Structure 1
Amino acid sequence: MGWHIADHEGVLTLSRQPGARMDFAVEQRLPTVRSRRRLAHQIRQDMWRALRALRGFSPVVRVHPDPAGIRVEAGGQVAARPFPKARCEAILRDLLSDPQHQARWMRHA
């Protein structure tokens, strides 16, 4: 099963299916990268590892242009209800702000 990648007006969206919704999301600003697609895949992989126990989770990553670099919006769609939204956001906030993860993403993107 592949990934759906859309690039609309400079915003790259990576999701499992077209039209995926974001039931929860966090944002992080990052420096400009060579490949927004590679960055999105790297973040998606780490999000999946961090939230794989969340039943019905389907990751979504959006990469927006930003005057100072790029703005990443990461989160996803959750089929199971209810789900611990605040806890999921906290996990993603920690992941996206982690300097070691950011350095690896920048190397690969």
Structure 2
Amino acid sequence: MTDRIEQSKALASDVRQSILRWLAEPARHFPHQSSGPPEEIGVCVTLLTEKLGMAQPTVSRHLELLRRAGFVRARKVGRWSYYQRDEAAVADYKDWLNDTL
């Protein structure tokens, strides 16, 4: 069962909302990713850290909250972590919110 409270808390941050917006169009926001197409493999945490201008542990914490809420998926390749938005989970949350309110 999806924890709607956890999902709502995950969205209660401008930083996390920005991350989700960027991950919705990764090729547009991260065209310079050299390790592979961001729309296929996800976006490297390093690029998110640079774009946000925050420390890597802080960005990782934001990403972990989004992952636990189900809005993003993480993939580890070697020592690098890549994140993709889970479009089905985002759509499900939007539907639930629309039906609830």
TM-score, normalising length: structure 2 = 0.29
Q: Report which of the two has the higher share of strand.
A: 1
Q: Report which of the two has the higher share of helix.
A: 2
TM-score, normalising length: structure 1 = 0.28
